Amino acid sequence: MERPTHLLLAASSFLVIFSSFMSDRAGVVLAQNATISVDVGVILDLGSMEGKRCRTSISMAIDDFYAAHRNYRTRIILHTRDSNQDDVGAASAAVDLLKNVQVQAIIGPQTSSQAEFVADLGSKTQIPILSFSATSPSLSSARTPYFVRATFNDSSQAGAIAAIVEHFGWRELVPIYEDSDYGAGIIPSLTDALQDVEARVPYRSVISPSASDDQLDEELYKLMTMQTRVFVVHMTRGHGSRLFQRAEQLGMMTDDYAWITTDGITDLLDLLDPTVIDSMQGVIGVRPYVPRSKEIINFTARFKARFRRENPTVEPTDPTVFQLWAYDAAWALAMAMEKVGAPSPVFQQRPSQIGNYSDLGKLGESQTGPKLLEAISKTRFHGLAGEFRLSDGQLQLSAFEIVNVNGKAGREIGFWNPVSRISRSPVSSKDRTGLKPVIWPGDSTMVPKGWQIPTNGKKLQIGVPVKQGFNEFVNVSRNPSTNEVTVTGYCIDVFEAVMQALPYALPYEYVPYDNVESYDNFVYQVYDKKFDAVVGDVTIIFNRSLYVDFTLPYTESGVSMIVPVKEDKSKNIWIFLKPLTTDLWLGSLSFFFFTGCVVWVIEHRINKQFRGTPSQQLGLIFYFAFSTLVFAHREKLESNLSRFAVIIWVFVVLILTSSYTASLTSMLTVQQLQPTVTDVNELLKNGEYIGYQDGSFVLGMLKRMNFGENKLRTYTAVDQYAQALRNGSAHGGVAAIFDEIPYLKLFLSEHGADYTMVGPTYKTDGFGFVFPRDSPLVPDVSRAVLSVTEGDIMTGIEKKWFGDQSASPSQSDSVSSASLNFQSFGGLFLITGVVSLLALLVFFAMFLYKNWKGATTSESSLWRKIVALAKYYDSKDLTSPTFKKKDEVIPNNGELNQNGHAQGAVILPYFDGSQSPMSISNHSDINFASPDEGMSSMDPGSPRIRFPRAEAFEELSEIRVERAV
């Protein structure tokens, strides 16, 4: 009976253990299959089309995420609230979600103004706020750390707008924006970006979101009265639609205007009413660039199908970039939540909140929020809108698309990114820079110039100076009976020619300015907006450019001085030395001697005309060299080297003598006029009086030159200049007149016979037309100035007012001809010197080559060899045609000895050039016939004696001398 009992107990124990094991396994499986619900709030403007579309996009993102990750434990539960397009409604919805639902994160709200208050709540409760459409720069993670911008910052599109302005060459731009955080947020960045491309913002048009049509019209009329015609519209879709419809009705959508819209309108072009699109024809817009991938194509089809199911009464359209960002934001939140895991079930109240019974006071702090925020900031993935990667709490966009509203939608015309700037392709390429053709407002293909004369009919007020003198430049006359003003002069004709050269008509009228005490004050009237421009003899100088802008100059620049001239009385018996300077005289003499020496060295051994006593040879060197001055050298040259050197030298002498003759002739025949003063320092040293034009900036220049005011006298007319110079400093006049070159040229055209322009020219920028700072007219007028000054028009105007200045005596005519210096002939002397030196080197090389061998084979010392070479050089070269002749024979009864020579003849050796000096000095074959051989030289009956030539005896004496050495 015991065995069954034991078996029963064992079986019972096994069943208990097995059931316990299976229970534990079932618990584990159930735990693994269980999901953790995470509450997430969504705040949208569900009454708007964008709000409905974003709700669909967010819901699709959550469904797609968990369909792709079925094994994830967390499951986001969306709690959607409607902000009713109101900031207070958005705040109320946020409080409800935080207090009653205790959400772990909030997606939204849509606008920047709504997001600002919700972001503050998120920072206080440590709940991350993910916004996909709040782009205002005033929202930042630095101020509200729990605000995450899953989109770009409005400031990032400022660079694209500035690049468009630079591309079309506009210099001014007026931003039109709504009076809100969203509208004003972009302005600082836009202003800085425009400054980088040298454009400015002359006016900012701020429009209230609640502005009526009449208020819109009032602001638009104000813009029409300004010159600027380029506008940037930064508004929400509803306010921007109203603005463009009113602008079209007021005639501001014509070819004179250029309009640029930011992404707030450009992204939603597909949602605008057709009547609004019609009013926006020709507008250029920028929007974030998102490549159209396969994923986006698939998402678009599913999005439209789901949106139609959720909103059956609304026709679906393609999702905008905001729906793509909403999708990516929800996806990123789901990824981050999975990394964090199960959230804390309740919020923890801070001690300071205990006893606070308000809704805000009862909100605690999330324990999961900090971890979730860190997980979101580290989340990386490739989303529908591109790479999702947060930097400083927001996405960083890499490119913008530029579109042109044409037809029923926007047409892509180019792209912009910070690296390659504007291009026709999103991929950087040098061959595809620029934009595609643009259709501007009014169906124009011409780029608007960006500014226009205001439509109020006002003409440009052009200030002109009323002057007492120099009326050739500007002359203002009034008709006493009609009081009609007539303005003429050189500057006026140039200005009117420039106006005609402009590609458009520019209405203007002249306004005389009588109080021209100083041209600085006259120019300052433009800065004070009393004149729209100033035309006259106004010089471009630095201190004036601080207040106004000048066009390019249309006259010569510089300040110089005019002094009287006097006849040169310095003609004397030594005037023949004056044509050449001292250095040229010395240089010429040196080359005369050098050339003579080269010819003597080469010809000495081979030419009997270059031999003789040392004094004769020295005289021959000078005689031959200087005889080439008048081409009277009669010595026949035997060497080609010396001939070549002499030919080049004679060419140099020809040019030198011709120049000398011309200069001396000018000095002896032409009237020589010399300026009374040539240096400013001389005026200062002598304490002379100086004259200048009244009201001119030259006064300041003269003071900087250290001229005292008591030594300066002012004048207003050309005749006054002449009279003051005639009187001189000693008789109430002046010694010199300082003025700008155009005035001095006018003076010389009338009084050039007695005066001349001397001294250095002090640099200035010439005359220019004056306009206000940053005036859009300046570039166009400057281009027109270039067109006029480079053509024949300018020549005709100058002849009209100043006559034919080419016939006027110039400075070089008035002053005596300058002496010729060595530098003027440096090239010629270099050529003849090199040729002569080369000839000399070639001669010495040939001489050493032929005669060095005999000298080096001797056992004599180096010094003896050099002496032997020198002595041999001084001897004749008997191989030369000059010396190589048959021996002269003196007959003696016509008899020859047994060797075939005449009886009693003296036989001398014949030396050719192949014998070295040493072999000649050791020659042993020199002998005379003796009487014992039957040949008596003294016997009258002996045979005829043959003597060598006289030169042979001379050679013999040289040989004996060598032996003695």
425 and 281 share one domain: yes
By DSSP bridging, strand 475-478 and strand 485-488 are: antiparallel
User: Which of 884, 877, 913 is CA-nearest to residue 606?
Assistant: 877
By DSSP bridging, strand 690-693 and strand 533-534 are: unpaired
pLDDT for 35 equals: 84
pLDDT for 582 equals: 86
Q: How many alpha carbons lie under 13 Å from residue 607 in its C-beta half-sphere?
A: 18
What confidence tens digit (pLDDT) does each residue in 116-152 have? 999 999 999 999 999 999 988 888 888 899 999 999 8
Any domain includes 811: no
pLDDT for 347 equals: 59
Supply the DSSP symbol for 430.
G
Any domain includes 937: yes
- Domain with 23, as residue range(s), is 1-34
Supply the DSSP symbol for 892.
B
* CA 852/CA 862 separation, integer angstroms: 11
Instruction: Report the Cα 182 to chain-centroid distance in Å.
Output: 38
* CA 744/CA 340 separation, integer angstroms: 87
Any domain includes 441: no
pLDDT for 870 equals: 76
Tokens of 442: 């009014």
537 and 515 share one domain: yes
pLDDT for 910 equals: 41
If phi > 0 it is left, if psi is from -120 to 50 it is alpha, else beta; for residue 727 that is: alpha
189 and 167 share one domain: yes
CA angle 499, 504, 507 (to 5 degrees): 60
CB proximity list for 831: less than 8 A, separation 6 or greater: 648, 652
What integer is the mean pLDDT of 780-797?
A: 90
506 and 608 share one domain: no
Residue 354 has pLDDT above 60, yes or no: no
What integer is the mean pLDDT of 466-495?
A: 89
User: Which of 208, 203, 210 is CA-nearest to residue 226?
Assistant: 203
Supply the DSSP symbol for 343.
P
Q: What are phi and psi of 889, to 5 degrees?
A: -115, 130
What confidence tens digit (pLDDT) does each residue in 5-54 have? 444 444 444 444 444 444 444 343 433 457 899 999 999 999 988 999 99
640 or 720: which leads in pLDDT: 720
What confidence tens digit (pLDDT) does each residue in 902-927 have? 444 444 444 444 444 444 444 434 34
832 and 887 share one domain: no
Instruction: Report the Cα 836 to chain-centroid distance in Å.
Output: 50
User: Order of strands, edge to edge, in the sheet holding 390-391?
Assistant: 74-82, 36-44, 105-107, 129-131, 147-149, 394-395, 390-391
Single-letter amino acid code for the residue at 335: M
Whether residue 109 has a cis bond before it, omega within 30° of 0: yes
30 and 40 share one domain: no
Q: What are phi and psi of 369, to 5 degrees?
A: -55, -50
Any domain includes 392: no
By the 8 A CB rule, do 373 and 148 touch?
A: yes
By the 8 A CB rule, do 724 and 691 touch?
A: yes
Any domain includes 650: yes
Any domain includes 101: yes
* CA 71/CA 34 separation, integer angstroms: 10
Single-letter amino acid code for the residue at 159: G
In the block, which residue shows the tokens 């031959």? Answer: 624
Tell me how long the chain is. 965
* CA 860/CA 382 separation, integer angstroms: 100
Instruction: Quickly state the pLDDT bin for 380 (edges 50, 70, 90).
Output: very high
List residues bridging with 759 in a β-sheet: none
Any domain includes 852: no
User: Which of 569, 145, 108 is CA-nearest to residue 374?
Assistant: 145
Q: Annotate 713-733 with DSSP letters as a single string.
A: EEE-SHHHHHHHHHH-GGGTS
What confidence tens digit (pLDDT) does each residue in 854-905 have? 655 556 677 777 777 777 777 776 676 766 654 444 444 444 344 434 444 4
User: Which of 119, 121, 39, 28 is CA-nearest to residue 345?
Assistant: 39
pLDDT for 859 equals: 60
868 and 730 share one domain: no
Q: What is the CATH number of the domain that holds 713?
A: 3.40.190.10
Instruction: Report the Cα 707 to chain-centroid distance in Å.
Output: 39
Alpha-carbon distances of 268 from 284, 330, 433, rounded to whole Å: 14, 21, 27
Q: What is the CATH number of the domain that holds 140?
A: 3.40.50.2300
253 and 164 share one domain: yes
Give the chain's largest Cα–Cα span. 197
What integer is the mean pLDDT of 823-849?
A: 86
Residue 109 has pLDDT above 50, yes or no: yes
* Dihedral sign from CA coordinates of 536, 541, 545, 547: negative
Greatest mean pLDDT among 30-44, 270-284, 420-434, 798-812 lies in: 270-284
End-to-end CA distance of the chain: give it in Å, rounded: 165
Supply the DSSP symbol for 342.
S
Instruction: Quickly state the pLDDT bin for 196 (edges 50, 70, 90).
Output: very high
What confidence tens digit (pLDDT) does each residue in 930-957 have? 434 444 444 444 444 444 444 444 444 4
What confidence tens digit (pLDDT) does each residue in 603-626 have? 777 777 777 777 777 877 777 777
Count structural domains, the chain: 7
By the 8 A CB rule, do 46 and 124 touch?
A: no
405 and 281 share one domain: yes
Buried-exposed string 631-663: b where 16+ CB fall within 10 A, e elsewhere = eebebebbbebbebbbebbeebbeebeebbeeb
pLDDT for 367 equals: 87
531 and 562 share one domain: no
190 and 176 share one domain: yes
Average pLDDT along the chain: 81
User: Which of 394, 396, 361 is CA-nearest to residue 143?
Assistant: 394
pLDDT for 952 equals: 47
Tokens of 194: 């425009």
Tokens of 936: 């008596």
What integer is the mean pLDDT of 440-466?
A: 85
916 and 936 share one domain: yes
State the helix-helix crossing angle for 862-874 and 950-964, rounded to 10 degrees: 170
pLDDT for 22 equals: 45
What integer is the mean pLDDT of 443-450?
A: 91
CA angle 776, 779, 785 (to 5 degrees): 130
What confidence tens digit (pLDDT) does each residue in 631-689 have? 656 667 778 888 888 888 888 888 888 888 888 887 777 656 678 888 888 899 899 99
Residue 580 has pLDDT above 70, yes or no: yes
Q: Specify burial of residue 758 (Cβ count, 10 A radius: 0-12, 13-18, 19+).
A: buried
Q: Annotate 367-386 with DSSP letters as a single string.
A: SSHHHHHHHHHT--EEETTE
Residue 517 CB: number of other CB atoms within 10 A?
Answer: 9
Q: Specify burial of residue 67 (Cβ count, 10 A radius: 0-12, 13-18, 19+).
A: exposed
What integer is the mean pLDDT of 252-267?
A: 93
Residue 186 has pLDDT above 60, yes or no: yes
* CA 111/CA 115 separation, integer angstroms: 6
Tokens of 145: 């750390």
Question: What is the percentage of the chain residues whose pLDDT exceeds 70?
Answer: 80
Buried-exposed string 281-319: b where 16+ CB fall within 10 A, e elsewhere = bbbbbbbbbbeeeeebeebbeebeebbeeeeeeeebeeb
What integer is the mean pLDDT of 284-309?
A: 93
Any domain includes 86: yes
